[in-house]
Structure 1
Amino acid sequence: MQALMCASMADTAPSIADLIAAQLPERGARRPFVLGIAGAQGSGKSTVARELAIRLGCPVLSLDDLYLDGAARRTLAAEVHPLLATRGVPGTHDPARGLRVIEALAKPETTLLPRFDKARDEPAPPEPWQGPANIVILEGWCLGARPQPEDELVKPLNALEAERDPDGIWRHWVNARLANYRALFERIDLLVFLAAPDFEIVGKWRAEQEHALKRARGEDAGMSATELATFIQHYQRLTEHMLRHGREWADMTIALNAKRRAVGVSR
């Protein structure tokens, strides 16, 4: 459908949280109702999720909270491919755990929400939530993503793939692992996709996050510019795939400009 806003309206348009809240039903067909928010790194999905959680009084679960611990990723690195030591891509999460947590939130008991400490690159202590929850927000960079056709995986996309995955073992394995996420993605009742203008802006947004981390924790915190450039290349293939097709998979797409403001909405 046609976008409902244009770039000239961006400064006066409703907030992204307002746009999403307006689409939520008073009561979902099943409990908890799962609102999924997908978007590239730095697109603001975590901020929007927190704002909505405060409004709705509901828990937030991030795909990042489902990362495997360092030992599990080191095992994958040794047995499958060295690039799997780095968190982020499909295959470095435990999606089945996320599904179990969502179903547990339907019960009138305390559920332990998994959390992940990115500074330590290891799981953090879980956060208790007293159920039942009528709604839960699930946010993550690749929610709803579907595998790429095999022929799109043949040619390396960037320097990381060309130099460290020349035979394509890593990217083919990652692509195949998306099948393990299907049950979690299908549990989402409303999937919202925050669409970045392009992949180039994703790198700039992610750099802003690193600079904020350094301001908050000191210059030794976070990644250097070189480390960040390499890190982002792990995400590039699937991020660009989502930018091409995410609108087809989502129930609602909110187009963003370079300042992360909504400039268009389609359903």
Structure 2
Amino acid sequence: MADLTDRGTEVGPGEFAPWPLLTMHLGGHPLDQAQLQQLLAWELANPERAAAWGITPANGPGQLQERLDWLQALAPRHGDLPLPPAPLEQCLPLYWQLWLPLALTLKQARDELNRPLIQGVLGVQGTGKTTLTLILQHLLEGMGYRAVGLSIDDLYKTYRDRQQLVQADPRLRWRGPPGTHDIDLGLTTLAHIRTAAAGEAVALPRFDKSLHGGQGDRSDPEWVRDVDILLFEGWFLGARPIDPSGFDRAPAPILTEADRQFARDMNAQLATYLPLWDCLDRLMVLCPADYRLSKQWRKAAEHQMKALGKDGMSDAIIDEFVDYFWRALHPELFIDSLKRDGEHVDLVVEIDRDRIPRAIYSPALAMI
């Protein structure tokens, strides 16, 4: 969620924007009933987003008042967010449209389950899924809930196992695609999180990408207790196999018959992850409006690292790296199908070039 700006505050002449009202509220001037109704009308004017957050004309005033109260309560903690320094007022569009309603949704889901909630977050490279999970941990802590993060990267097979894997299948020269993870480790971890007694320590796997010259290896686990919400994120987390015929005319960079066979094999490997996905209580898809933005974001991040005097990949290597992942699981095939999957996906957040939400909806409700 880098590059925060006030783009979300732009409106046309005569259009209503809620940000002055929210700023006034933060300044210690509670909204009156007329202003609250004005805010509710603005929310309901985006029916897909309103439905995703469960806002109706009947419950809207109560829902929005709760969000207003939490906005004010959490405002003093804004400076501790894992973000580049920015005034809270500049971040209001993200607080109001995504961060706070999502945190409140998770809080409610945890209360209804009466056990730890496992929330999945799928986000392709560069979408800010890791930053989002850190923000949610911070906000939920302020609400009195213990949230922890786990990445699909933390479930990579050991360095030794991956060396044996690449000998058996040289196409898996980079870690990341289906087949490079320890699914049993993931199943054991999620089961332990879900069933741990009060005060019982649970080991969260951790992976150090700097070991073995950047090849990476498993490191010491992080021990956690009394987890309310586990935020489980990854670039293909929750992705399900598609009809193999979809690869007959696949988009670039799936060009050759060897590319198509690799894509089919990775698609088949996804079936082995389904028991892990079945452990999710909820699944959110965070995706760019155009999947090709992922490559641009990766290049921008590497350029920034080089400007700071750090090592970074060249544009050519980034192209090769990202193309490799697109050959394995192409976003146009897998993400697009998930965005319509009302059975397994609870929430879709589409972001623009500046990572500002441009659409928020629930696939199941969008089909009604």
- TM-score tier, shorter chain, comes to 0.7 to 0.9
> Could you tell me which of 7, 16, 20 is aligned with 2:98?
16
Note the C-alpha offset of 1:48: 0.5
Q: Go from structure 1 to structure 2 and tell me whether the alpha carbon gap of 1:212 and 1:181 turns closer, same or farther (over 3 Å shift).
A: farther
Q: Conserved in 1, the CA contact under 8 Å of 2:206 and 2:222?
A: no
1:63 corresponds, among 117, 134, 152, to 152
- What residue identity is the alignment partner of 1:194? L
Q: Does 1:261 align with 2:306?
A: no
Query: In the aligned structure 1, how far is the partner of 2:188 from the partner of 2:259?
Result: 36
* Map 1:86-165 → 2, pairs under 5 A: 86-105=174-193, 106-107=195-196, 108-119=199-210, 120-155=214-249, 157-159=251-253, 161-162=254-255
| Greater Cα shift, 22-31 or 85-94 | 22-31
Question: Match of 1:184?
Answer: 276
Matches within 5 A, 1:202-241: 202-215=294-307, 218-219=309-310, 221-236=311-326, 237-241=329-333
Gaps of 5+ in 2: 1-45, 51-90, 141-145, 363-368
* Partner Cα separation in structure 1 for residue 128 and residue 259 of structure 2: 34
CA offsets, 1:219-247, max 9 Å, x none? 4x232211110110122243222331122
User: What is the one-letter code of the residue matched to 1:154?
Assistant: D
Distance 2:249 2:258 in 1: 9
Post-superposition CA distance 1:202-225 (Å, at most 9, x none) = 101122332344456x44x23221
> 2:216 is matched by which residue type in structure 1?
E
Cα deviation for residue 124 of structure 1 reads 4.3
Q: Please state if 1:3 is matched with 2:56.
A: no
Q: What are the ranges of 5 or more consecutive residues in structure 1 without an aligned counterpart? A: none
Residues 198 and 185 from structure 1, CA distance in 2 versus in 1: closer, same or farther, beyond 3 angstroms? same
- State the secondary structure of the residue aligned to 1:52: helix
Structure with the higher fraction of residues in helix conformation: 2
Q: Supply the distance in 1 between the matched residues of 2:185 and 2:102 (Cα, whole angstroms).
A: 26
Identity of aligned residues (%): 28
Distance 2:261 2:114 in 1: 40
Q: Which has the higher strand share?
A: 1
Per the alignment, residue 10 of structure 2 pairs with: none
Deviates more, 1:96-105 or 1:41-50: 96-105
Q: How big is the shift at 1:264?
A: 1.6
Task: Decide whether aligned partners of structure 1 residues 71 and 156 sit closer, same or farther in structure 2, where only a CA change above 3 A counts.
Answer: farther
Aligned partners of 1:153, 1:257: CA distance in 2, in Å?
27
User: Is 2:122 aligned against 1:27?
Assistant: no
Q: How many residues align?
A: 258
In our comparison, the structure showing a higher alpha carbon Rg is: 2
In structure 2, how many angstroms separate the alpha carbons of the residues matched to 1:30 and 1:72? Answer: 38
The alpha carbon displacement at 1:168 in A equals: 3.8
How far 1:39 sits from its partner (Å)? 1.2
What's the CA shift for 1:182? 0.7
- Structure 2 counterpart of 1:59, one-letter code: V
Superposed, 1:43-58 pairs within 5 Å as 43-56=127-140, 57-58=146-147
